């Protein structure tokens, strides 16, 4: 299958970047790299702007089924396939063959290449430096933007031969492969000048992998590396052993000032021009560096460092589908593009950075799939229908459009595109739409489906039963619905649509009149989380912050202040907000075990960093824009920016455990975590 049609740059950048300050790399010294239990928990991520990615660990081993040097997206951003799982290198000296790789096998690590690591650095890509016999060998990895192509660059401080062995998986990125007779271990090799191109196609139903280099002829010696273990999968309660196919090897001759490239691609029409690909690597030739020079770089070491790091992180989530429309990847390694995540992330990923045309393109792309007044929650695969199981994605879209408008977006988009869609959306909600989403005619409040549905962002299920039933009238959904009505009312007046402005206003007045009566919980000095058919759910959760911090708040000023005080005292942590207060019978203090155990804890206390955005919005709305408020807002994100050196380097995770030391859990890299921290930082500055 060819993916050549998407070989242009992944996402256009319409305006100049917000910050052009050079970003110092995150550097880890030998003491960290050679401590395997730690180095194997530190991950790195590269994205190519199509949903394809590369991912691994500082130690050099793969600890997840999702790790690989080329996880190709065959129909962007879906149909992801782990093609080139890893490459193993061995330095060939006059005395011995010295391995640089490491794998986890049952009860053993083999080989022990991590013990020779001198340092690891991550800037535009990961770089490992090993020491062998007084010679330093560096490997850097980059992805080609917009292509399913990975490039490795080897350099050294002295002459050395390097044996290179590719390990192939060729399977869906959610699966595992095992030794089987169907895998074809042969190869084809072509030579053009000094470049050799080796082609592998283990399975006829998948594209071939072409590997280019300027080394020796490929020596075919196929064998299976059996029982490679992925301990992160073991921790997740999933199958964790795999067999990888090693078809053979070749050798590279390294010398100072003469780096060697290896490129691998599944693009059927891509020209593997190694000289052209070498221009991806802009850093100077490696040279001897002291361990002292390789101290970890803190994002706050210099003004602008935190913002620059967040902006680089944000770029990983901007992608294009196979039809060239722009979209947002919700997280890595297992999410694709989701409607709710996209709408929450868009203000931080694009609008706060001045990328208004890109934001508009994403909005128009989702509006093109509007059905029953809802934008999709998920595009499952290349051929399947979109899924509309969300009550809030469309309502968050109103907030994204409002942010876009405030940032200077063209009124033409509101007049010609979004306002007509807004009328359709509101009418569909008033009539009733998918999954039982409808407005209660008695009070104007929005109902998020019936029993058995879970349509809000707290959507975990165990054995197909919602863990946090919120199928009545959720507090944040009604705050978003109220704001959608008020924004539609304002746009209608601006565009001279008086009848619709009055209609929107009447519906909004109904919500405002009913909200206090339905949601206020005087006993706890806050809001009920959801009004279920059987009565209010009074558990203390962060969702009520949306009633305070959105452009059109609900509750009176005194009650807003009480809500903020209550939430701050029970839910705010250094890394985001807990999803349930300690002391609640349902509170889960940890997040571990099999998928069902983790899903049961997903919104039962687990800390979500993205909620720092609604929290800061509520801070400003309740306490005003003052030096004290800005300082408090900066404090709310300071620890999160510092956490970009832990877990997945240069990124922020989906969640943190709800108790100290607040370990990163869930997906290692998540769009709305990065987006909301970046949005807050742009709003308050770095101080």
Query: How do residues 620-674 score in pLDDT, each as one tens digit?
Result: 999 999 999 999 999 999 999 999 999 999 999 999 999 999 999 999 999 999 9
Q: Give yes or no: residues 330 and 396 share one domain.
A: yes
Is 261 inside any structural domain?
yes
Q: Give yes or no: residues 242 and 385 share one domain.
A: no
Expressed as residue numbers, the domain containing 254 is 28-284
- In the block, tokens 């920016």 appear at 641
- Structure confidence at residue 268 as a pLDDT band (50, 70, 90): confident
Number of CB atoms found within 10 A of residue 434's CB: 18
51 phi/psi in degrees, rounded to 5: 100, -15
pLDDT above 70: residue 16? no
pLDDT above 70: residue 90? yes
Token output for 126:
């990961």
Token output for 673:
């975590």
Q: Give yes or no: residues 193 and 326 share one domain.
A: no
Q: Give yes or no: residues 642 and 554 share one domain.
A: yes
pLDDT mean over 388-410: 98
- Structure confidence at residue 6 as a pLDDT band (50, 70, 90): very low
Distances (CA, A) of 128 to 41, 152, 344, 582: 16, 11, 35, 42
Helix axes 305-315 and 627-642, enclosed angle (nearest 10): 60
Rounded to whole angstroms, the maximal C-alpha distance in the chain is 87
Question: CB under 8 Å to 419, separation ≥6 — which residues?
Answer: 488, 491, 492, 495, 497
- In the block, tokens 């970890």 appear at 296
CA pair distance 67, 86, nearest whole angstrom: 9
Residue 22: the pLDDT is 66
Quick one: what percent of the chain has pLDDT higher than 70?
93
483 phi/psi in degrees, rounded to 5: -70, -35
Q: Which of 252, 284, 316 is the last residue of a domain?
A: 284
Q: Give yes or no: residues 215 and 333 share one domain.
A: no
Number of CB atoms found within 10 A of residue 446's CB: 24
Q: Which of 284, 313, 343 is the last residue of a domain?
A: 284
Q: Which of 6-10, 189-193, 264-268 has the lowest mean pLDDT?
A: 6-10
Is 156 inside any structural domain?
yes
Q: Which of 251, 284, 317 is the last residue of a domain?
A: 284
Token output for 121:
């650095």
Compute the mean pLDDT over every residue in the chain, rounded to the nearest whole number: 93
Q: Give yes or no: residues 313 and 280 share one domain.
A: no
Q: Give yes or no: residues 411 and 499 share one domain.
A: yes
Residue 95: the pLDDT is 87
Is 577 inside any structural domain?
yes
**Chain segment 129-167, per-residue pLDDT in tens:** 999 999 999 999 999 999 999 999 999 999 999 999 999
CA pair distance 220, 608, nearest whole angstrom: 49
Q: Give yes or no: residues 230 and 377 share one domain.
A: no
CATH number of the structural domain spanning residue 464 = 1.50.10.10
Q: Give yes or no: residues 278 and 320 share one domain.
A: no
For the chain, state the CA radius of gyration: 26
Q: Give yes or no: residues 259 and 324 share one domain.
A: no
Residue 181: the pLDDT is 87
Residue 183: the pLDDT is 86
Distances (CA, A) of 481 to 144, 286, 395, 485, 538: 42, 56, 6, 6, 21
Residue 171: the pLDDT is 97
- The number of domains in the chain is 2
**Chain segment 219-250, per-residue pLDDT in tens:** 999 999 999 999 999 999 999 999 999 999 99
CATH number of the structural domain spanning residue 133 = 2.70.98
Q: Give yes or no: residues 223 and 138 share one domain.
A: yes
- Structure confidence at residue 382 as a pLDDT band (50, 70, 90): low
pLDDT mean over 170-189: 92
DSSP-assigned beta bridge partners for residue 320: 326
DSSP-assigned beta bridge partners for residue 449: none
Q: Give yes or no: residues 397 and 465 share one domain.
A: yes
Q: Which of 2-16, 266-280, 642-656 has the lowest mean pLDDT?
A: 2-16
Quick one: what percent of the chain has pLDDT higher than 90?
89
Token output for 243:
């067999």
Q: Where are the alpha helices (DSSP H) in 66-158?
A: none
pLDDT mean over 529-544: 97
Q: Which of 146, 124, 170, 140 is nearest to 52 (CA)?
A: 146
Tell me, yes or no, if the pTM score tops 0.85.
yes
234 phi/psi in degrees, rounded to 5: -60, -45
């Amino acid at each position: 299958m060819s993916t050549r049609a998407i070989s242009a740059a992944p996402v256009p950048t319409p305006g100049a970047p917000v910050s052009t300050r050079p970003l110092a790399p995150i550097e880890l010294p030998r003491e960290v790299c050679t401590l395997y239990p730690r180095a194997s928990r530190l991950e790195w991520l590269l994205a190519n702007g199509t949903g394809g990615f590369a991912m691994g660990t500082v130690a050099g081993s793969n600890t997840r089924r999702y790790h690989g040097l080329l996880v190709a997206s065959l129909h962007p951003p879906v149909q992801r396939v782990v093609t080139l799982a890893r490459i193993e290198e061995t330095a060939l000296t006059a005395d011995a063959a010295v391995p640089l790789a490491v794998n986890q096998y049952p009860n053993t690590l083999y080989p022990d290449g991590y013990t020779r690591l001198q340092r690891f650095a991550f800037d535009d890509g990961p770089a490992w430096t090993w020491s062998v016999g007084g010679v330093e060998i560096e490997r850097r990895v980059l992805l080609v933007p917009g292509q399913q192509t990975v490039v490795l660059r080897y350099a050294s401080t002295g002459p050395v031969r390097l044996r290179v062995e590719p390990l192939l998986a060729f399977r869906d990125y959610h699966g595992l492969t095992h030794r089987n007779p169907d895998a074809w271990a042969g190869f084809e090799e072509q030579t053009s000048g000094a470049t050799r191109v080796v082609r592998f196609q283990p399975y006829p139903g998948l594209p071939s992998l072409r590997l280019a280099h300027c080394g020796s002829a490929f020596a075919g010696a196929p064998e299976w590396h059996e029982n490679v273990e992925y301990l992160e999968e073991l921790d997740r309660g999933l199958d964790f052993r795999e067999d990888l196919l090693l078809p053979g090897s070749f050798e590279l001759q390294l010398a100072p000032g003469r780096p060697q490239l290896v490129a691998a691609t599944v693009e059927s029409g891509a020209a593997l021009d190694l000289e052209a690909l070498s221009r991806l690597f802009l850093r100077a030739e490696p040279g001897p560096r002291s361990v002292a020079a390789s101290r970890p770089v803190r994002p706050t070491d210099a003004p602008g460092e935190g913002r620059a790091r967040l902006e680089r992180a944000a770029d990983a989530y901007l992608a294009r589908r196979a039809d060239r429309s722009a979209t947002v990847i919700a997280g890595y390694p297992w999410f694709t593009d989701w409607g709710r995540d996209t709408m929450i992330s868009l203000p931080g990923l694009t609008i706060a950075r001045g990328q208004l045309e890109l934001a508009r393109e994403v909005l128009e792309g989702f509006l093109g799939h509007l059905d029953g007044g809802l934008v999709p929650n998920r595009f499952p695969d290349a051929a399947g229908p979109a899924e509309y199981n969300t009550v809030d994605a469309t309502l968050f879209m109103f907030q994204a459009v409002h942010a876009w408008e405030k940032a200077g977006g063209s009124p033409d988009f509101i007049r010609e595109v979004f306002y007509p869609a807004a009328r359709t959306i509101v009418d569909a909600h008033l009539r009733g739409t998918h999954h039982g989403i409808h407005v209660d005619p008695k009070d104007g409040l929005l109902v998020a489906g019936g029993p058995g549905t879970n349509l809000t962002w707290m959507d975990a299920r165990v054995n197909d039963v919602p863990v946090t039933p919120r199928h009545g009238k959720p507090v944040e959904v009604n705050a978003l619905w109220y704001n959608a009505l008020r924004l539609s009312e304002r746009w209608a007046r601006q565009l001279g649509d008086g009848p619709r402005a009055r209609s929107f206003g009447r519906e909004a007045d109904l919500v405002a009149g009913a909200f206090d009566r339905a949601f206020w919980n005087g006993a706890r000095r806050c809001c009920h989380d959801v009004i279920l058919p059987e009565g209010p759910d009074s558990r203390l959760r962060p969702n009520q912050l949306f009633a305070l911090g959105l452009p059109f708040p609900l509750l009176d000023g005194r009650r807003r202040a009480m809500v903020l005080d209550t939430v701050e005292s029970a839910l705010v942590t250094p890394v985001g907000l807990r999803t349930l207060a300690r002391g609640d019978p349902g509170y889960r203090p940890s997040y571990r075990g099999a998928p069902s155990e983790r899903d049961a804890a997903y919104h039962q206390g687990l800390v979500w960093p993205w909620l720092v955005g609604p929290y800061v919005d509520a801070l400003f709305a309740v306490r005003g824009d003052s030096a004290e408020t800005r300082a408090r807002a900066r404090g709310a994100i300071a620890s999160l920016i510092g956490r970009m050196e832990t877990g997945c380097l240069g990124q922020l995770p989906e969640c943190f455990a709800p108790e100290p030391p607040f370990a990163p859990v869930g997906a290692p890299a998540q769009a709305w975590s990065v987006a909301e921290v970046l949005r807050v930082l742009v709003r308050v500055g770095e101080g």
